[in-house]
Structures are given as C-alpha cells and as structure tokens.
Amino acid sequence: MAVMEVFAYAKLNLSLDVLERRPDGYHEMRMVMQTVTLRDKLTLETGTGAPLQMHSNLGFLPADEHNLAAAAALRLCREAGADPGGLSISLDKHIPVCAGMAGGSADAAAVLRGLNRLMGLGLSRRRLEEIGAAVGSDVPYCVGGGTALAEGRGELLTPLPPLPECRVVLCKPAFSVSTPELFKALDGCRIRRRPDTTGLAEALAAGDLTGVARRMYNVFEDVLPQRRYQEICAIKNSLIQHGALGASMSGTGPTVFGLFHCGEAAERAYAALRQQYQETFLVESAGTLMEKEV
C-alpha cells in the first residue's frame, strides 16, 4: 500500500462577473480568483484491495461519488486507465461547507494532484484541469490555484501576477445561500454594477494592493435576499472600519473577506468578528499549488 497526504486550499473571488446565459444552460463567467492558506487535509491510500472508501471528520458529508473528492478519484482512474488496486480517501475538513470558497472543488483538485503523483501517472497540469472540468466548474482553477482570471464556466484560465503580500480575514455568517436561486435572480434583473476586472488585473500587475482592494466586487451581492444582503453589508462595514483596504463576498456566498496591509489591524478585525461569527479565519494569500508539490 502507498499513502500520501495532500492539501486542498480555499479560493476567494477578488471579482465575480456573470455574463450571458449559454446554450448549455451554464452562464459565461469572468472572475479573478485567489488561493488562500485556509486548507483541508486529505490522506490518500492506494492498494487497499477494496472498493473506493471515503471518510470525513464531518459526518454529514457524502461518503460516495456524490462527494467531489471521490468523484474526482473515479474520473481520474477512468480517464487515465489506471487501477489503484483499491483506494481510500480520508478528509480532514476545515474549509467551511457551502461558503463560496470552493471547498469541495479544492478537495477534488487535491485528489487529482495527489493521485497523479502517488500512482506515477505523469499527467500535466492542463490534463488534470480537463479531467477536473468534468467534476465541477471550479475544479480546474483549484488544480493550480494562485491568482488567475477564470472565464467560460470557470475552466478557461489565464494566470495573473500574484496578489501582493497581505493578510486576509474571512467571515462566514451562519446561513447558506442557494446558488441556483442567485443565478435565477440575476437572469431576471438588469445588473446595475459590474466589477472593473481589467483595472483589477492592471493593479495586480503594478503590485498595487490598494488598487486591487478598491476594485473588488461580486455581482451576486446585488441579488441577495434583503435580510442576507444587510448582514453581508454589516460584515463588510466591520472589516472596513477595522482597517481593511476593501471587502467583498466570495462566490455565491455567504463568506465575506477583507484585505489588510497591516497585520495588527487584521488581527483586531478577526478578534472582533470572531466574537459574533464562529467561522472567522485569519489567513494569507497563497501562490501556485502544483509548484509547491512537485
């Protein structure tokens, strides 16, 4: 038997724009994505001699192919024609579930990277992204992580200059948001404001953290139910009042994050929000993942 530990890193949307609806029912997206150091740990074991087994520290998560980590393993083995001789996946989950941070997609991408190495498949990053696209829209980005422009369904990736060094405070309020309902709401209204994605990319190229923070925006914030919108705004305002250069919601929410130049200000913001919201985290930005693992 062979065993490997691999980490799955959360993502944030520095910007998120939804364009037209596609003939396949998906929407064209234009997003700037960023990896942060909040992470899950997965332990992969091949050669168990048993069918795929999936375990997690969270009992409510699915333990079969409905879990994206398991789905990714099955897809990889099928696409690569590889037989692991039995496979076990153990997930130690820390990224909040249904939080807009691609936790499930990050787990799936970590399994693709890990099994590629553990079984000596030698698949390229691009090939892993292609396999991941069949598992979930965010999986291709999560394969490599870092800072990137994501278009199409999220699978068309263009690397961007890295986010300047900063501290990041994440805060997930205690409610969930229906992704299908938010897309439906967007389809039924005129989007009044869009993120300056081009300007954000230029600020990244200039190493201008303040310029990045000032251009962060997520169009889904405009179609949140009113009560949820008010709570998201309250968290954003708290982050700004504690010194964040900018704050935004990630994905379809409800996690809100703020970027900080000053570590002390970030720590004060974290402490203040942690008193009210249990799932509050103080993290940093992270670079490209595959470069760290090879």
Q: Known catalytic residues?
A: 11, 138
- Measuring CA to CA, which residue among 257, 287, 253 is closest to residue 270? 257
Asked if residues 213 and 259 have their Cβ atoms less than 8 Å apart, the reply is: yes
Asked if residues 79 and 133 have their Cβ atoms less than 8 Å apart, the reply is: no
E strand segments, the chain: 2-21, 27-46, 53-56, 87-92, 147-152, 156-159, 167-172, 217-218, 246-249, 256-260, 279-286
Strands 27-46 and 2-21: antiparallel
CA 255 to CA 264: how far, in whole Å?
22
- Measuring CA to CA, which residue among 148, 82, 99, 81 is closest to residue 290? 148
Residue that is written with structure tokens 């709401």 in the block: 185
Per DSSP, the three-state class of 246 is strand
- Whole-number Cα distances in Å, 102 to 80, 86, 98, 175, 286: 25, 27, 8, 16, 15
CA 71 to CA 132: how far, in whole Å?
10
- Residue 154 tokens read as 């999220």
* DSSP per-residue codes, 125-189: HHHHHHHHHTT-TTHHHHHHBSEEEEEETTTEEEE-PPPPS-EEEEEE-S----HHHHHHHHHTS
